[in-house]
Structure 1
Amino acid sequence: FSLGRVQTPTLYMIYQLQEKIRNFQKEPYFEGKAQVIAQNGAFDAKLDPNETQATQEAFEDYLIEKGVQLGKQPGTIHQVETEKKSAASPRLFSLSSLQSKMNQLMKASAKDTLESMQGLYEGKYLSYPRTDTPYITEGEYAYLLDHLDEYKHFLKAEAIPTPIHTPNSRYVNNKKVQEHYAIIPTKTVMTAAAFEQLSPLQQAIYEQVLKTTVAMFAEKYTYEETTILTQVQQIQLKAIGKVPVDLGWKKLFGKESDGKEKEEEPLLPKVTKGEMVTVDLQVLEKETKPPQPYTEGTLITAMKTAGKTVDSEEAQYILKEVEGIGTEATRANIIEILKQKEYIKVEKNKLVVTNKGILLCQAVEKEPLLTSAEMTAKWESYLLKIGERKGTQTTFLANIQKFVSHLLEVVPGQIQSTDFGSTLQEVKAASEKQEAARHLGICPKCQEQEDILYQKVAACTSEVCDFKLWTTIAKKKLTATQLKEIIQNSRTSQPVKGLKGQKGSFEATIVLKEDFTTGFEFSEKKKTNFKKRTRRTTKSVSYT
């Protein structure tokens, strides 16, 4: 087990959240919902302030106290307010915010986003990737403005107005740009042919950066927000509706928008103050929900804020000081290290701490100097002070010495007193299950020894038998079950989807031929389609 000044607090953050989710107890609760039926139409409304009760009976008692009951009853429109509001376009990208965005859009890992971004930088299409700021200087703003029409032409967005040609402090701030500025397009605009040669992730990154940059020059998104308050005896109901007035920068993003806003509130009918309405009040049964596990995108944000509960890039800049752990250049690598050491794994884009990772966390959780994200952030902060000549190396190293001495003194005793029983049992069970899955059956070639699954190949354990079965066939990684079927039954029980050939993806049953090589067997329908595709180029077709 290895520890690290940044990797261990990062692992512990994931572990803490995972434990919180594991121990979460769902609890039912009841709240009210009403349909308000007015002269010009009906709309939904909620109690204001919202009221919840543990049981339906308790909720109904609450309504009776307020002079109302479930079902239909008369009400009055108490207040109607319409306010014009606006929303600025998203901030320019730092590396962290870009990694979070691409994880959200493409389920891309932080490492993959950085590597794809690096390729675009080396191709001179995007600016330097390892930046921690969303700001540019007036110099960058000037060249972006000069090339604005070219960027719009690439995005096929010539019709979208971009009349804002004066630097806005939301994006342009000379004082907040230190070593590097935000991720923006360069003066070299990519051709359509060059764009086609990019990977899907690089294409998505390039489009996102261009859209976010062009949005800086577009009008704000404006909308009218209408709030209707309905009175029923002693209860007030509230409904909010949005009507877009001018989509502005949102036209660049289409349905995707900026990825943060909720769906638009519904359009409300025209009502007037004092209007009599019918209110149909119902009770809804709901249950509390556990927090969401980390994805690589949300973990990057958590590392940047040292675990503070800040869930948006916008909110980070409201905080006066953010003492993050790691840097823009290292955070992706830290996540990869945790994967390589098998402390964490990714399941359906969610980060999961493995049994090995849990063991490590249990071993060090009594020592905050090893697990505290805030402690690590303070180290980062002091290193910056040294760089600014506001701190000294001597002081820093003296504290490191105290830190190491303290760990050597107290941690062995803490580990000694920790009970790893249940986790070790899970580790043993998982290990035995994994080992059992490696044994695929008697070798079909020698009919004597067993075939064992290794990382990239299944092979016979006999020294004289040369049987091998590759785990990846037609660019598709097969499961242990599928490999076992091929070895024991000479074929997969079901057609395998996602196989790839020269003409794209296909589906087929993988079979083991008489010469112990693999081939494909197609269903009758697939054979017919295959014949149609190949009739002009071949005289005969083999299906295995």
Structure 2
Amino acid sequence: MKTVILAEKPSQAKAYAEAFQQRKKRDGYYEINDPLFTGEVTITYGFGHLVDMVPPGAYEQRWARWSLENLPIFPETFQYEVPTDKKAQFAIVKKELQSADTIIVATDGDREGEAIAWSIIRQAKAFSKEKKYLRLWINSLEKEAIYDGFKNLRPGEYYFPKYKEAKARQNADWLIGMNGSPLYSLLLQNKGIDGSFSLGRVQTPTLYMIFKLQEEIKHFKKEPYFEGEGEIRHQNGQFIGKMEPKRSFKTSEALTAELQNLGAHIGVQEGQINQVIKKEKQLRSPRLFSLSSLQSKMNQMMKASAKATLEAVQGLYESKFLSYPRTDSPYITDNEHHYLVQRLDKYKGFLGAETIETPELFPKKRYVDASKVQEHHAIIPTKTIPTKERFSKLSRLQQAVYLQVLQTTIAMFARNYIYEETTVLTAVNELKLKSIGKVPIQQGWQAILNTGKKKKKDLQKLPVIQEGELVEVELKSLEKETQPPKPYNEGTLITAMKTAGKTLDDNEAQEILKEVEGIGTEATRANIIENLKQRHYIEVKKNELFVTSKGVTLCKAVASEPLLTSAEMTARWEGYLRKIGENQGTPEVFLENIKKFILHLLESVPQQIQQVDLSKEVTGTRQIKALEKKNDQLGRCPKCQNGIVMLYPKVATCLNPECDFKLWPIVAKKKLTKTNLRELLSKRKTSKVIKGFTGKKGNFDAVLVLKEDLTIGFEFPWMNKVKTEEEP
């Protein structure tokens, strides 16, 4: 009897192998010997996906060429292939799986993990009724957790519907991409728009969310308004009061008239303390982290991208310091709560927080609720705590992620933060002014978790005041402006994707999105954002996301197709995909509906594109085409600050037609690298000394600098001197 364990990647297989008594590394797999198993046991692995869908041309030669006449592209059956660079490992995996009596699926425990495992098993022709299939389901790569997981394997067929769900999603995305992308690209090219445009089930509505907000900001017109505020002077101190109820006025005259109505006026007058209300309030510690909430937090704290945070927490998971990262749950079960309590003192010791009280060791429903943990629990520290030396070798982002997760977890055991809130109502005849002050009573969990800067309104400390006391009140008219919404950053976009259902009118769609957590999944949202960047639909400037000219073009083109621009499409699709995963729906029905949708696009989009005004986008064709050649982009123009500097064979120029900035790649007979040129644009100087320049007095070495007048100069660090290009 032979048992083969199929892991997702080499590092995972290595962690599994190290959990057993004896192991021997072979080419592409491990041999295992452990009392847990009888017979021959091996662990083999993929490199993530070992199997991909074939391109359209593999079905029919005519489909290899983009042509409107060749659409729709509907294969009778979908075919798969092993990429050339993965064939050697696949051959090893295939041999192992075919020789197995029992196959243990040990890829990541999610929909994508099922897709990876079963696509490999089926491509290897190792799927048969004679074999037994089991499933490993764990939340940690610690030896103890792995071994416990192998002692408590689950039936493999229980998760097979998740594979059917993932496969249906993959097939649907392929159909949308292979039909929608050429359809829109060719029609846009007919209108003079150069470049290729890709569409995606989640990618396109996400892009449109950013575009809609960008348009709202672009067309936002600031409007002045006025508010009344009083500076209240008491013998024990002064403080600020706001009009109660809170009101704003379009003109200063309207505010003045209302004050007069209430028996008050701008300037100094007498007032009286009407009410002093004191209330004790409490704040509970933040919820534990799902992947999305952690990505949002790290973007807020460190401007880290969603992808960077996912990679950091994945690395901590593989280092056995944090639990499984791709989770959408902020809850844990009693099992996790138990081991956290057991190791609480050690966690506090790592943070140097031994003196901070954490007396609430009972499971609180806010954090511990097994009924709300479907696949994986919240991201929490494992039983393995890094040594100070090991921690120091982690990247800066990994250190920040680990500390944030650890502090948030420990805060769960601390008391609530308690403060006294004092509300003072001051009267000037009929005018009421409201003042709020807060004084901490019990730090509780805030002693563990740094909550960041407090808002100004929370910092007002009121003097000791008694009801009925007279005060001096100076009323002021404050002129303010309405403010546009802020652009998305990756943190707020992740949150918007997760809560997209709140913007829908369709109640059923709202409920679906509520259950599936918006558009995309915890595992895919970071990749969706990265794809939008890589396809040059969006760019990041100072941690804010902006739609490029190419992205604007696509958004205008798809604006007439609501199923391509809103979360409603994802709600409907995810709803039925979930039914497939629960064995209540079939991939065949789902894909038939996708095909009907594509036929609708083929019929309606040509007329829609014809009616769209893309005159501005046609003039930007040069920049869109340049976006396709990312390797030749050097960076943002230092002169106009808007255009992209593009490298051509003899010169680098700004793509903004109104800008004349140029940068020559050959300086003093030395050809500069793209890295050199990019550093000149981004940092105004090269990071290293460049060797091999030729001047009037012979060869020399120097650091290049981009001077204030945007000409190139030479810097000689050892001489502390900058010269022009002509001087050496």
User: Please, what TM-score do these two structures have when normalized by structure 2?
Assistant: 0.62
Residues 374-393 of structure 1: per-residue CA shift (max 9 Å, x gap): 32123112211222234443
Q: Is the 8 A contact 1:13 1:307 kept in 2?
A: no
Q: For residue 227 of structure 1, give the secondary structure of its aligned residue in structure 2.
A: strand
Q: Using the alignment, how far apart are the partners of 1:429 and 1:397 within structure 2? A: 37
Q: Is the 8 A contact 2:241 2:433 kept in 1?
A: yes
Structure 2 counterparts to residues 237-276 of structure 1, below 5 A: 237-254=433-450, 257=451, 264-276=458-470
Pair 138,524 (structure 1): closer, same or farther in 2 beyond 3 Å: same
2:716 corresponds to 1:521: yes
The AA in structure 1 aligned to 2:292 is S
2:680 corresponds to 1:479: yes
Residues 408-433 of structure 1: per-residue CA shift (max 9 Å, x gap): 11111101111101232244478799
Pair 458,156 (structure 1): closer, same or farther in 2 beyond 3 Å: farther
The AA in structure 2 aligned to 1:400 is I
Tell me the residue number matched to 2:600: 406
Tell me the residue number matched to 2:204: 8
Q: Using the alignment, how far apart are the partners of 1:189 and 1:293 within structure 2? A: 38
Q: Using the alignment, how far apart are the partners of 2:474 and 2:457 within structure 1? A: 25
2:367 corresponds to 1:171: yes
Query: Aligned to 1:308, which of 483, 498, 502?
Result: 502
What are structure 2's unaligned runs of at least 5 residues? 1-196, 505-509, 627-635, 638-642, 655-662, 704-714, 723-727
Query: Aligned to 1:59, which of 242, 255, 260?
Result: 255
Query: Aligned to 2:234, which of 38, 49, 53?
Result: 38
Pair 458,307 (structure 1): closer, same or farther in 2 beyond 3 Å: farther
Tell me the residue number matched to 1:445: none
Alpha-carbon offset, residue 43 of structure 1: 0.8
Q: Using the alignment, how far apart are the partners of 2:535 and 2:435 within structure 1? A: 51
Tell me the residue number matched to 1:127: 323
Q: Using the alignment, how far apart are the partners of 1:509 and 1:267 within structure 2? A: 58
Q: Using the alignment, how far apart are the partners of 1:95 and 1:525 within structure 2? A: 49
Alpha-carbon offset, residue 228 of structure 1: 0.5
Q: Is the 8 A contact 1:324 1:380 kept in 2?
A: no
2:219 corresponds to 1:23: yes
Alpha-carbon offset, residue 402 of structure 1: 2.2
Q: Using the alignment, how far apart are the partners of 1:149 and 1:526 within structure 2? A: 57
Pair 510,71 (structure 1): closer, same or farther in 2 beyond 3 Å: farther
Alpha-carbon offset, residue 517 of structure 1: 5.4
Q: For residue 282 of structure 1, give the secondary structure of its aligned residue in structure 2.
A: strand
Pair 419,477 (structure 1): closer, same or farther in 2 beyond 3 Å: closer
What are structure 1's unaligned runs of at least 5 residues? 311-315, 441-448, 483-493, 501-507, 528-543
Query: Aligned to 1:283, which of 446, 466, 477?
Result: 477
Tell me the residue number matched to 1:139: 335
Structure 2 counterparts to residues 200-215 of structure 1, below 5 A: 200-215=396-411
Q: For residue 3 of structure 1, give the secondary structure of its aligned residue in structure 2.
A: coil
Query: Aligned to 2:566, which of 366, 372, 377?
Result: 372
Q: Is the 8 A contact 1:323 1:381 kept in 2?
A: no
Tell me the residue number matched to 2:416: 220
Tell me the residue number matched to 2:672: 469
2:292 corresponds to 1:96: yes
The AA in structure 2 aligned to 1:110 is A
Q: Using the alignment, how far apart are the partners of 1:286 and 1:511 within structure 2? A: 58
Q: Using the alignment, how far apart are the partners of 1:260 and 1:427 within structure 2? A: 47
The AA in structure 1 aligned to 2:484 is P
Tell me the residue number matched to 1:199: 395
The AA in structure 2 aligned to 1:7 is Q
Pair 196,110 (structure 1): closer, same or farther in 2 beyond 3 Å: same
Pair 46,180 (structure 1): closer, same or farther in 2 beyond 3 Å: same
2:606 corresponds to 1:422: no
Q: Is the 8 A contact 1:211 1:253 kept in 2?
A: yes
Residues 346-367 of structure 1: per-residue CA shift (max 9 Å, x gap): 0000000000000000000011
Q: For residue 62 of structure 1, give the secondary structure of its aligned residue in structure 2.
A: helix
Query: Aligned to 1:385, which of 573, 579, 584?
Result: 579
Q: For residue 476 of structure 2, give the secondary structure of its aligned residue in structure 1.
A: strand
Q: Is the 8 A contact 1:511 1:521 kept in 2?
A: no
How many residues align structurally? 485
Query: Aligned to 2:526, which of 332, 345, 355?
Result: 332
Residues 59-84 of structure 1: per-residue CA shift (max 9 Å, x gap): 11111112110011111111111100
Q: Using the alignment, how far apart are the partners of 1:509 and 1:301 within structure 2? A: 45
Q: For residue 225 of structure 2, give the secondary structure of its aligned residue in structure 1.
A: strand
The AA in structure 2 aligned to 1:521 is F
Of 49-58 and 236-245, more deviation after overlay is shown by: 49-58
Alpha-carbon offset, residue 437 of structure 1: 4.3
RMSD: 3.3
Q: Is the 8 A contact 2:320 2:384 kept in 1?
A: yes
2:434 corresponds to 1:231: no
Identity between Structure 1 and Structure 2 (%): 54
Q: For residue 402 of structure 1, give the secondary structure of its aligned residue in structure 2.
A: helix
Alpha-carbon offset, residue 49 of structure 1: 0.9
Q: Using the alignment, how far apart are the partners of 1:183 and 1:268 within structure 2? A: 40
Q: Is the 8 A contact 2:650 2:664 kept in 1?
A: no
Alpha-carbon offset, residue 436 of structure 1: 9.4
Q: Using the alignment, how far apart are the partners of 2:454 and 2:274 within structure 1? A: 32
Structure 2 counterparts to residues 428-507 of structure 1, below 5 A: 428=622, 437-438=645-646, 450=650, 467-472=670-675, 477-480=678-681, 496=685, 499=687
Tell me the residue number matched to 1:187: 383
